[in-house]
Every structure is written in structure tokens, then in C-alpha cells.
Structure 1
Amino acid sequence: MATVTPPASSPAPSDPRDPLGLAADAPLLDGWLRFDDQVRAGTVTPFTIPGHKQRTHLVGDVVRGDVPLFAGVDTMKQAGGLLAEAERRAAVLWGVDWCRISVGGATHGNQAVALALGRPGQEVVVSRTLHRSLLLGMVLAGLRPVWVRPAMDAATGLPAAVPVDAVRAALAAHPGACAVVLGDPSYVGTVGDVAGHAAVAHAAGVPLVVDAAWAAHFGFSPATPRHALADGADAVVTSAHKTLPAWSQAAFVLARTTRAGGLLDPDRLERGFEATHTTSPAGAVLASADASRALLERHGAGLVERLVALVRGARDRLAAVPGLAVLDDRPDDHPDGPLRVDPAKLVVLLAGTGAHGHAVEADLLAAGITLEMADRDVLVPMVTLSDDATTVGRLVDALVEAVGRRRGAPRTVTPSPAWTVAPATATDPRTAFFARHETVPADAAVGRVSAELVAPYPPGVPVLAPGETVTAPALDALRATLADGGRIAYAADPTLATLQVVERSADTPTISG
């Protein structure tokens, strides 16, 4: 596996567990290293969880490195204050006054913020293309979504930005809404006008929350857009494990609260975070997030610039292949219209080659290369700070070879139903989630209210959600995805032979405002 070379300004590493010497600036990483030293030396005999006791004699190396926060990275009573200090440093880095580090990913972060936004029964303006975690956060909080949808880019079949005017209109039509929640950048890297959305939300007296799960690298180099907090967002949820070198499930939840002139209550944020967080946080996950924060602080500019250069090189090579295209910025005067795209996101468009994305993915898997997403027309290989010219070159070589092998007649782009199906709201998500339900043949579900969430995965964006009427177009689109080789996620029956719908009953529970 390729490694990252320490920048020339860094001292020679003395510990292979911390090759860039980040522990001096990362208190949780320092605590993890100290406990690991004790384990290696045999000077600690834990009588706390986890049950493996840092010993590998029963289940092997799968538990190596798993250190708890409590009675591991720090004492059981948190005497060192390491987590609080790490979160303080992250808040300072992102320029806000509140931060929590999650071991439950952006999923937990979205649900924690949802609990801090309003009261049961209130409306919230929400981008429809957000991850399912936010919708289920609304179930927990009892919020009612007012959907706003991104503009669709006709040339690529992918979602562009949510128009600022769409949010302005939604707030005008729903003056009781308690917040605006948007995803930016989108799953495919398209970037919107966060500053414009912040201005519109603040003019209405409500906070702007941005799910920036894919944008932890934003704002640390002029090569990328500014991060959403710098553009006026009141809160951001971002994954540390997507583009940064953190353990899976590491995420930051960051906010500008009423203490600093913002619109979010820090006490509600704190309660929302704790209500949905584990009481046994993994110290290694926390330490890796802290190390990633220190990495950005010390070396972010250079590493992000290198990442952008790697993606630029890959885009240029792939765009030179006949029929192959990549998602890229377009100027205002472009015939297909303007488009802003994360310069570190690599999205490959196959329709012009006639190659089927699932077949190309199969070839790449046979070559030992995994992708973040593949459907018929679109491939998304994630390039991160941990990549280098060797890994990206291998990806591009294999992609070019697989596309050449799988070529066919060029075809018209068919957008994923995740981006195109219009929701038909019948009731709020919480009411439907807690209502009595029944399982019926899928065709018989048309016209009924869905009790479950159904989405193609990736990207995990709902096509059907609790409280929405099952429509024939939605069902047809899901079936087409399944027939084409895609995966249907979260449904009780992923074959789509049946669906779970709300019982026809007069005593369906309702939310009290």
C-alpha cells in the first residue's frame, strides 16, 4: 500500500505509529500512543471493557489497536480532559465555538443536529438529495420536511446545486420553518452557493445546517472551495473518514452557536449529540480524527493541493479517451450551462462509451480495485489524501483498459432515481414510522403511504421515505435499478416483491405541535 511521504519541513519520524509526529499537536492520538505503549510493555492489566483486553489470543489481530476512550486513551473519569481539548482545537481550526467528534459517522452527526433544530411538528427546509440519516433524524426529532430539490444537469444526468431561489421560496411559503438543511457538496461533488443560502436563511431568522460529509478537505487550500462555515453556515457535519485518513465512522460536528452570535443553542446541540451517541466511544476512532485534524492544521495546504493535482491529472487522462467524460467545472457561458464541482472529486461518465458501469466495476474488482459507487452510467472512485501518483495511475490504467474491453454503442444518460423521483408527501416521517404497518405486494402498495425508507445504494438517497405515497414512477424506477444490477437498500424486502405500508386505520398516531 502506498504511503504518504512526510513533508520536507517535518522532522524524521521516530515512531512508525505516528510517521509525521502529529501526537505533539493531537492529544487523543498522544493518549492512544501512550496506552498502546503500556499494552506492548505489559504494564497495564485492564479490568474494564472492551472484553478483548487488548489481547489477540482469542480472535486474532482484528482487535489490534482497539483502545477505549474511557480507561484507555484517557482515564475513566476523563482526568486528562483529552477529548475536550481535541474538540476545542477542532473548533478553533474551523473557526467556530462548538465541536464534537463522533464515532458514529456523519449519520450520527446529522441526527444529533436534527434534535437541536426545533420542536416536534415544526417544519424544516431540507434538500431531497440528502443522505437517509437526516430523514431518520427528522423521525427522531418529529420534524416535518419541506423538500427543495437540486437543479438537474441535463448533460450528465447528475444533480447540480439547490437553487438559492428555491430555498427562498420555501421559507416564504413556510414561515414557521425552524431551519434550512442542505447537502453541499453533493454525493457527486457538485457545489452550490452556500453563502447565498446562508444569507437567505438568516434573513428568515433560521440557521443553515450543511451536511458536508464529503468535504472535510474544503477550506484548507485555495485549490478547493471554502468550507461551509466560512461561507456563513451555522453548523456543519463532515466525515473525517471519507477524504481524510481517519478510521471508519469518525466525523466532526461543528457549529457557531448563540454564544458566538449564531442561531443554534449549544445546550440543545450538546443534548442532541449525547442522546444519539454511544456511551462507549472507540478511542482509536477519536484519536484518528484528532490526528487528521492535526494533519490538516500542519500540512493541509500541501496535501490538499497534491490531491487536487492528482484528480486533475486523472480527469485529463480519462477525458482524452473517446466517448469517456468526467464531471468538471463549466464556465457561465458554457453551452450546457455553468457547473461547479469539487476539484478533488473524480466522477467518470460512461454513456458515450456504451460500456456498462457494473461490467466495468466487475473488471476493476478482478484487478483488485474497488470503487465507491458504480451504476450503469456513472463511476465514483474516491481519491483521498492517502493516494499518490502510483495508486491513481493504477486506477486510471485499469479504467481505460476496462472501458476499452466493455465498449458498445453510445447511449443516452439515464439519471438515477435517487436524483429524479419527486416525493409525494402524505404525512410526516415520524407519524408514518410509528404507525401500524402491513406488508403488501409491491404493485398493491401504489397509492398507499410508505412505512419504510427505500433507496438505491450507493448513494443512499431515499426514493421512498416514511410518510410518502408510493407512486408508480417511484416503484418503476426502483425496479429498473434492481434489474440493471443495482442494490436496493434499507427496504425490508430488497427484491421489491413487497413493500411495507401504513395500515388504513383511523387511529394512526399524529404529532402534537
Structure 2
Amino acid sequence: MKTPLYNSLRDYGNKVQYRMHMPGHKSLEELYKTTGFHKEMLNLDLTEIEGVDSLFHPRSSLLEAQEIAANLYGAKESIFLVNGASIGIMASIMAVVGEGEELIIPRNAHRSVFNALLLAGVKPIYIMPEIDFDTGVAMGINPLEIERALTENPKAKGVLIAHPNFYGFCSDIEAIAKIVHKYDKVLIVDEACGSHFKFHKELPISGIEVGADLIVHGTHKNLPALTQSGILHIYSNRVDEKKLKHYLMMLQSSSPSYILLASLEIALKIVEEKGIDLFNSLFENISLLKESFKKIKGVKCLDNNLIGKYSIAGYDFSKVVINFQQLNLRGYEVEAILRDRYGIQCELSDPANILITFTIADSREVFSKVLAAIEEIATEAEIINDKGCLTEGPWHLPQLVYTPKEAENKGWQEIDISHAKGRVSAETLSSFPPGMPIIRAGERVDERVLELLKAYRDVKNIKVIIE
């Protein structure tokens, strides 16, 4: 029998020497040498049996491990996850908001948010992030927009905010928490990319530090835990914990991986014992790299120089966003060149930028290789006069006719886009950049939607609800 998947994973490891993307361990065995974890995986692959505790009813070793995590982060309770941060986000939403009730969310929220809205029958109240139309990146959420949404929608059960967004930019989470709690609402923080914030003074503050009610971490993204490990932190008494744990049990596997659970515990042990030195080294290496980038013509970094603009209050220094708009190169092209010529795979690319994620697993050699590659690519390129990444602003919120669940259960047909005005979309169409829907299922197609689809998507047909 052939093993195409296994072969592709091995081939990737042979071709890509420098992994500038999650998971945070970067396959560096050195991180685990004091525990031997990487050599014991088959022996640790157990099920829920006597002696190793139960994920959904922890009473011994797992309970103790979660209590240690809660103490480390300063949470009231911390619950380990084996289906990623996504499942923590979904369970949080379903525990807080019921059928027909409202939740205030960013327009560019993670797909897990929309999955939860669909399953629970929740009505979304959207808030728009500010957009840097020059680089095409969706930035922060203005706290005043949160207050406006709460004032206009007093029945909303709570607010969900991403902290940081995928590019590493953070809204003013402290101000947002104060506003949400002033209205006695629940604040859910999608902190999937921020499980490391606690471990260095130059990193943004965590949602836990500002008293958010539920905070979700994807510990594999920036810490040396295996993919799909995560933590859901409970900080307040505003949420029904029994209901929350009920949904966690419903949504997660009934055969949780103890390898993932153990990797999570080991990752926390590493950063608790060595985190200061490891993150200091990471910060120093990234600072030196960014200083070197300043000497390369046509290349610039989007980082803490944006604090105070676009409602940005903080920036994760481990996320290095490199902009190439002054060169005759697109971000997609740079990503391909880095991978094919240099064996460097970045986290993502868009028309103007690439995103490189550094973690405590990256050595000085990795930084040197990245710098040398970017220098060579930029030297071979030409300087151009950039006109900006996005030209069709401002962005738009179409009329919501049906909740995601209602739209899912409607019949639909596909029609020519020229006949779509006034119809209700049965599908979601997005533009990247800025990584945000132009229209979502259940929203009415209007003239502005058609303009944006024409500007950013080559859409000839659209699925619409039969009414």
C-alpha cells in the first residue's frame, strides 16, 4: 500500500529547511531534551484509562496539570483542548449565546466563530476593523465601535474580539474590556495567536490580564506544543461553566490524544522554566533583523511603528510582516522564491506582504538565512512607484436578512452576477487582502457589494437563496 500523505510530510521536511510558520516547536528536538518527550510519543499514545485521568472529568494528573496552567497564566480555571483553539472558541460562543440571540463580532473573525454562529443559530452584529488601504491589511478595532454596537444592540449577550489578529496587531484590549463589562456583557477573547504574551515585557498584554471572561489559546502556534493543542481559560463568573464544559465534551473527540495533552504540559514547563532567557534571545534576534531590513531598499516592516494608528495598541514582535510594495514583486512571488530557492517557508503571503513567524525554537542561523535571502531577492528586484494595495474603499456591511443557520437551511440557485442585486446571498465571498468577507450567506446583495466583487473578485455567478 502506498503512503502518499506520509511521503509528502517527509518530502516537505527534506525540502524546507527553515519553517517560518506554526507550529511553534519548528521540529527542534533540542527544546525537549530535558524531558525526552520527542522520543516517547508511541509509548505516550494512550486512551482514557485508569491511571492517566480523563479529559472531560479530570480528577488526578490532568486536573493537577490544568491547575498548574491556571496558576501560570493567572486564570480562575484552565481547560486543556485537543481540537485546537477553534473548539474553545466554538464552545465559548455556544455557552454564552443561544438560538436567535446576538453576539458582537469583528467582520473578519476566524471561521470557527462563524461555525459556532451557524450551529447555535446566533445572530451576528458586525464591527469593522480599520483597514490600511496602502498595505491591504485589516488592523485594529476602535473601542468606540464596540461601545456603539453595545448601545445600539442592548440585547447582545457579549463581544468576541481577536487579540492579536493573524498579522500580530492588537486592538486596545484593556479599553474594550472596560467597555464590555460596563454594560455587564461577556467578553470572549480569541487569543489563539497570543499564548506567549505573558512571557516577555515587550509583548502585548493578555486578555487574562485585563479581566476578559473567556480567553482561548492555540498553544501550538507560538509555543512548542504539538498542533491541535490549546487552552481555554476561565477568568470570571459571568459564564455558566457547566454549559461550557458540556459543549466542550460535545464538540471534542471522545478519544482525546494524550500526546497532545502531554505536549501542552511540556511546552508550558519549558517556558515557565526557561522562558525569560528564550524570549529575551528571540526579541534580540528579531530586533537585529529588523534593523538590518531598514538598510534594504524597497523593503519595510509593518510592526510597532503602527501603534497609535488604525486603532492599533500593541504588536506581537514575533510576527514579522515584510512589505514589498516598493519593489516589482508581489508577496505571493516572494513566498514562492523563498520556498523554492532558499528552503524557507513563510506563514502566509498576500499581494503586498509576507508574514514570517519566529518562535523560541529559531536559532541565530535561521535569522541570518532569512536576512540573506531577503537581501538577495530585493537586490534583484526593481524599485517602483506603488499606488497602494486596495483602491476600492471604504469596506461595506450589507443588510443581514437571515442568520447563518437560517441561510444554511434555505434552498438556493446559482445566477448570473448581473441579476443578483436585491437577492440574498447563499454563499460567502471574501477578498484577500484584507481577509474579510465582501458578503456572507444571509446578506442582501446591493450596489456596493457588486462594486467590491467587481474590484476584487472575478465573480461571474453567485449562489442566492430562493425566496
Partner of 1:328: 303
Residue 248 of structure 1 deviates from its aligned partner by 1.5
Matches within 5 A, 1:39-438: 39=43, 67-71=45-49, 74=52, 81-153=60-132, 156-258=135-237, 263-330=238-305, 340-366=314-340, 367-415=342-390, 420-438=395-413
Comparing both structures, which one devotes a greater share of its residues to strand? 2
Find out whether 1:500 has 2:463 as its counterpart: yes
Q: Distance in 2 between matches of 1:98 and 1:164?
A: 27
Residue 169 of structure 1 deviates from its aligned partner by 1.0
Moved more, 174-183 or 338-347: 338-347
Structure 1's 445 and 104: CA in aligned 2 closer, same or farther, altered over 3 A? farther
Q: Distance in 1 between matches of 2:356 and 2:285?
A: 13
Moved more, 463-472 or 295-304: 463-472
Q: Distance in 2 between matches of 1:331 and 1:110?
A: 28
Partner of 1:19: 33
Letter in 2 for 1:345: K
Structure 1's 280 and 313: CA in aligned 2 closer, same or farther, altered over 3 A? same
Q: Distance in 1 between matches of 2:391 and 2:84?
A: 25
Aligned counterpart in structure 1 of residue 441 of structure 2, from 455, 459, 466? 466
Residue 476 of structure 1 deviates from its aligned partner by 6.0
Q: Distance in 1 between matches of 2:148 and 2:139?
A: 18
Q: Distance in 2 between matches of 1:438 and 1:201?
A: 40
Letter in 2 for 1:501: V
Matches within 5 A, 1:26-41: 36=42, 39=43
Deviations 1:316-356 (A, max 9, x none): 2222211211112238889x997632222200111122321
Residue 19 of structure 1 deviates from its aligned partner by 0.9
Q: Distance in 2 between matches of 1:132 and 1:237?
A: 15
Structure 1's 311 and 479: CA in aligned 2 closer, same or farther, altered over 3 A? farther
Q: Distance in 2 between matches of 1:76 and 1:100?
A: 12
Asked if the contact 2:402–2:443 (Cα under 8 Å) also holds between the matched residues in 1, the reply is yes
Partner of 1:491: none
Letter in 2 for 1:355: L
Letter in 1 for 2:462: L
Residue 304 of structure 1 deviates from its aligned partner by 2.0
Identity of aligned residues (%): 24
Q: Please list every run of 5 or more consecutive structure 1 residues that lacks an aligned counterpart in the other structure.
A: 4-14, 24-28, 40-64, 484-495, 505-513
SS state at 1:99 partner: strand
CA RMSD of aligned residues (A): 3.2
Structure 1's 75 and 167: CA in aligned 2 closer, same or farther, altered over 3 A? closer
Partner of 1:47: none
Flag the structure with more relative contact order, 1 or 2, with Cα contacts below 8 A and sequence separation at least 6: 2
Asked if the contact 1:440–1:500 (Cα under 8 Å) also holds between the matched residues in 2, the reply is yes
Residue 17 of structure 1 deviates from its aligned partner by 9.1
Number of residue-to-residue matches in the alignment: 440
Partner of 1:62: none
Find out whether 1:440 has 2:415 as its counterpart: yes
Residue 296 of structure 1 deviates from its aligned partner by 2.2
SS state at 1:228 partner: coil
Structure 1's 285 and 440: CA in aligned 2 closer, same or farther, altered over 3 A? farther
SS state at 1:230 partner: coil
Q: Distance in 2 between matches of 1:461 and 1:332?
A: 22
Q: Distance in 2 between matches of 1:365 and 1:419?
A: 35
Letter in 2 for 1:328: D
Moved more, 398-407 or 346-355: 398-407
Asked if the contact 2:164–2:316 (Cα under 8 Å) also holds between the matched residues in 1, the reply is yes
Moved more, 76-85 or 427-436: 76-85
Partner of 2:11: none
Residue 177 of structure 1 deviates from its aligned partner by 0.7
Residue 73 of structure 1 deviates from its aligned partner by 8.8
Residue 209 of structure 1 deviates from its aligned partner by 0.9
Residue 164 of structure 1 deviates from its aligned partner by 1.0
Moved more, 79-88 or 383-392: 79-88
Moved more, 316-325 or 370-379: 316-325
Structure 1's 342 and 76: CA in aligned 2 closer, same or farther, altered over 3 A? closer
Asked if the contact 1:417–1:474 (Cα under 8 Å) also holds between the matched residues in 2, the reply is no
Residue 179 of structure 1 deviates from its aligned partner by 0.4
Letter in 2 for 1:90: A
Q: Distance in 1 between matches of 2:381 and 2:50?
A: 52
Q: Give the structure-2-normalised TM-score.
A: 0.84
Asked if the contact 1:127–1:147 (Cα under 8 Å) also holds between the matched residues in 2, the reply is yes
Structure 1's 203 and 389: CA in aligned 2 closer, same or farther, altered over 3 A? same
SS state at 1:175 partner: coil
Q: Please list every run of 5 or more consecutive structure 2 residues that lacks an aligned counterpart in the other structure.
A: 1-16, 20-28
Structure 1's 83 and 303: CA in aligned 2 closer, same or farther, altered over 3 A? same
Q: Distance in 2 between matches of 1:417 and 1:390?
A: 42
